[in-house]
Amino acid sequence: MSTRKKPEDLRSFRWFGTTDIRSFGHRSRTLQMGYAHEEFMGKPVIGIINTWSDVNPCHTHLRDRADAVKRGVWAAGGFPVEIPVMSVSEQYQKPTTMLYRNFLAMETEESIRSHPLDGVVLLGGCDKSTPAMVMGATSAGLPFIFVPAGPMLRGNWAGKVLGSGADVWKYWAEKEAGNITEGQWKDMENGIARSYGTCMVMGTAATMMSHAEVLGLTLPGASAIPAADSAHPRMAAMSGKRIVDMVWDDLTPDKILTRKSFENALIVHMAVAGSTNAIIHLIAMAGRAGVPLTPADFDEFSHKVPVIANLRPSGAFLMEDFFYAGGLPALLKQLESKLHTDAMTVSGKPLSHTIGLAQVYNDDVIRPLDRPVSSENGLAVLKGNLAPGGCVIKPSAAEPRLLKHTGPALVFETYDEMSAAVNDENLDVTPDHVMVLKNSGPVGGPGMPEWGMLPIPKKLLKQGVRDMLRVSDARMSGTSYGACVLHVAPESYVRGPFAALKTGDLITVDVEKRSISVNLTDAQIAERIAAWTPPDRDYPRGYGKMSAAHIRQADQGCDFDFLEGTAKIKEPEIH
Ligand code: FES
Ligand code: MG
């Protein structure tokens, strides 16, 4: 490319290439680490932002993958430096990793800006780590490439294939109903997570890694490679090799992340029946790229694209099967007529190039458009007097009878209250009730925990009931399913109309009409809210206090208000 940079154009030149007293320090301290001048002088410095941690089983292999990336960077004539950041471990971090998505986004952005880097490789994949790192790196603005952690192997128990999360919910319900024994349940524990890597259903992790790929932020085919496959370290090494050229070519994220690329992500989202969490994340990621995106965009695309990836929790297969069937490039091939194939990718070539190399090896897993998995939309955004800012439901994961339903509300103010009630076998509840959980939004949760798949009351489980209409201002795990209306905005805690709900109110949901309402007048709602006191969620100090003061509502992506947008931050002074 004619615009290729020269060594003195590199950002890191300001640290290493000058002759002032500071640059003496930068060079002598690099020599202190055992590197010779010729190993780093005049070379692109590549930051490897790593979310490896001993408390994140999805990222166990990222320690080794950083080495593979380094191998690629060295081979291409770059200088790799690894920088650890918070891991946002979905399984262990409480109250919810969502509280820390913006923390990791800030840490990524500031780690990039403050160090002598020219390009960046991001290592992550467990749920929030993908959007967080992409948000931060987009705002930092240097060329970057994403190395997705990749899914773990298929689960295996008693001859059955198990999927992360989805089968845990399913068999827990069977255990609660008395259909499987404690011993069988214990056995499942040994077989459900068989290797490092992310959840292997089309949950939040796989959805976000797919988004990263279709947005053009990974090497072609990277997002579905199983973490334990030898193709994975090869992909990591090739990413390290590629980022060096991206630096010389100045392939910055603003050339990749455009309205077109985000529309491509919306198309893939619908085709894979992606996690509802991705709505929030994609809106936030687009916000950092200066691309306006709203829940209405998701709804619009849900009418245009059927579900063609036959993956749990909406379909039958797992990510390992998806990889063998051709992975994301094969899915893109099926969707070619709908995509903006001229969108640029980190490979330096447009999406059409990725599609040109693709082949579908199993068209039961990756279906053609005329033989979809589900004629139901992957996603619907509902509005009404209960949720003026909107809320979402995944119709493909719900029992059809609940997609048009009116029933009496059964309202819980807190998670604990709800938890105790569902175990009470004398609870006054029928399959027609609409279970409601308040105070679980971005501020009230805090951090919008994944409580949205409220457990079916034990009494009903024993009667064979497996789905009910449920409404909350929470999120739900991407591995969850059922008629769960989520992300009610504005949340109850900030005194949205949702706060007014009481047990016995009649809630009507009509997915076809995209509506949700309660049989209350505006005046009744206002009167009830005035008399309502939210539970105490006060943080006297610290990060939680900052989050509560600055977090946006779900329909706006839950970014912090001061992190949004594309206003240029000037390069740090080097004194
Ligand atoms: Fe890490 Fe699911 S727990 S991806
Ligand atoms: Mg999850």
Which stretches of the chain drop beneath a pLDDT of 70? 1-2, 376
Which secondary-structure segment (H or E) carries 506? Answer: strand 506-510
Ligand nearest to the CA of 276: 2
- For the CA of 479, the closest atom of ligand 1 is 2
Ligand 1 neighbours by CB, cut-off 6 Å: 58, 90-91, 126-127, 164, 198-199, 205
Q: How far is CA 403 from CA 292, 393, 457, 468, in A?
A: 29, 9, 20, 10
Q: Rounded to whole angstroms, how far apart are CA atoms 574 and 7?
A: 18
Residue 569's CB is within 10 A of a number of other CB atoms, namely: 11
Q: Which residues contact 6 (CB under 8 A, 6 or more apart)?
A: none
User: If you measure from the C-alpha of residue 91 to the centroid of ligand 2, how many angstroms do you get, rounded to a whole number?
Assistant: 8
- For the CA of 90, the closest atom of ligand 1 is 3
From the list 53, 47, 40, the residue with the least C-alpha distance to 91 is: 53
Q: What is the pLDDT of residue 2?
A: 55
User: If you measure from the C-alpha of residue 104 to the centroid of ligand 2, how many angstroms do you get, rounded to a whole number?
Assistant: 17
- For the CA of 89, the closest atom of ligand 1 is 1
The residue nearest atom 2 of ligand 1, judged by CA position, is 199
**For the chain, give me the number of helices (H) and strands (E)?**
20, 14
User: If you measure from the C-alpha of residue 125 to the centroid of ligand 1, how many angstroms do you get, rounded to a whole number?
Assistant: 8
Q: What is the pLDDT of residue 197?
A: 98
Ligand nearest to the CA of 200: 1
Q: Which residues contact 420 (CB under 8 A, 6 or more apart)?
A: none
Q: Rounded to whole angstroms, how far apart are CA atoms 345 and 571?
A: 26
- For the CA of 149, the closest atom of ligand 1 is 4
Q: Rounded to whole angstroms, how far apart are CA atoms 524 and 176?
A: 39
Q: What is the pLDDT of residue 395?
A: 87
- For the CA of 59, the closest atom of ligand 1 is 1
The residue nearest atom 1 of ligand 1, judged by CA position, is 126
User: If you measure from the C-alpha of residue 444 to the centroid of ligand 1, how many angstroms do you get, rounded to a whole number?
Assistant: 24
User: If you measure from the C-alpha of residue 45 to the centroid of ligand 2, how many angstroms do you get, rounded to a whole number?
Assistant: 34
Mutate to test the pocket of ligand 1, among 198, 475, 477 (most ligand atoms within 8 A of CB): 198
Q: What does the pLDDT look like over 367-401, one tens digit per residue?
A: 999 999 987 677 899 999 999 999 999 887 889 99
Mutate to test the pocket of ligand 1, among 62, 126, 200, 207 (most ligand atoms within 8 A of CB): 126
- For the CA of 203, the closest atom of ligand 1 is 2
Q: What is the pLDDT of residue 314?
A: 84
- For the CA of 477, the closest atom of ligand 1 is 2
User: If you measure from the C-alpha of residue 127 to the centroid of ligand 1, how many angstroms do you get, rounded to a whole number?
Assistant: 6
Residue 368's CB is within 10 A of a number of other CB atoms, namely: 12
User: If you measure from the C-alpha of residue 91 to the centroid of ligand 1, how many angstroms do you get, rounded to a whole number?
Assistant: 7
User: If you measure from the C-alpha of residue 451 to the centroid of ligand 1, how many angstroms do you get, rounded to a whole number?
Assistant: 16
- For the CA of 57, the closest atom of ligand 1 is 1
Q: Please name every residue paired with 84 in a beta bridge, in sequence order, or none if there are none.
A: 50
Ligand nearest to the CA of 480: 2
User: If you measure from the C-alpha of residue 479 to the centroid of ligand 1, how many angstroms do you get, rounded to a whole number?
Assistant: 10
User: If you measure from the C-alpha of residue 475 to the centroid of ligand 2, how many angstroms do you get, rounded to a whole number?
Assistant: 10
Ligand nearest to the CA of 58: 1
Integer Rg of the chain from CA: 24
Q: Which residues contact 165 (CB under 8 A, 6 or more apart)?
A: 199, 201, 203, 313, 477, 478, 479, 480
Exposed, middle or buried by CB within 10 Å (0-12, 13-18, 19+), for 484? buried
Ligand nearest to the CA of 478: 2
Q: Which two tokens stand for residue 543?
A: 């990060």
Q: What does the pLDDT look like over 323-348, one tens digit per residue?
A: 999 999 999 999 999 999 999 999 99
Q: What is the pLDDT of residue 376?
A: 64
| Domains along the sequence of the chain with CATH | 44-154+194-357 (3.40.50.2300), 155-191 (no CATH), 380-537 (3.50.30.80)
Check if the beta carbon of residue 380 is closer than 8 Å to that of residue 303. Answer: no
Ligand nearest to the CA of 93: 1
- For the CA of 478, the closest atom of ligand 1 is 2
The residue nearest atom 3 of ligand 1, judged by CA position, is 90
- SS3 per residue for 10-42: CCCHHHHCCCCHHHHHHHHHHHHCCCCHHHHCC
User: If you measure from the C-alpha of residue 25 to the centroid of ligand 1, how many angstroms do you get, rounded to a whole number?
Assistant: 41
Ligand nearest to the CA of 277: 2
Residue 96's CB is within 10 A of a number of other CB atoms, namely: 21
Mutate to test the pocket of ligand 1, among 51, 55, 56, 58 (most ligand atoms within 8 A of CB): 58
Amino acid at 409: A
Q: What is the pLDDT of residue 176?
A: 84
Pairing of strands 45-50, 119-124: parallel
User: If you measure from the C-alpha of residue 192 to the centroid of ligand 1, how many angstroms do you get, rounded to a whole number?
Assistant: 13
Mutate to test the pocket of ligand 1, among 53, 104, 127 (most ligand atoms within 8 A of CB): 127
User: If you measure from the C-alpha of residue 571 to the centroid of ligand 1, how many angstroms do you get, rounded to a whole number?
Assistant: 35
Q: What's the DSSP call for residue 50?
A: E
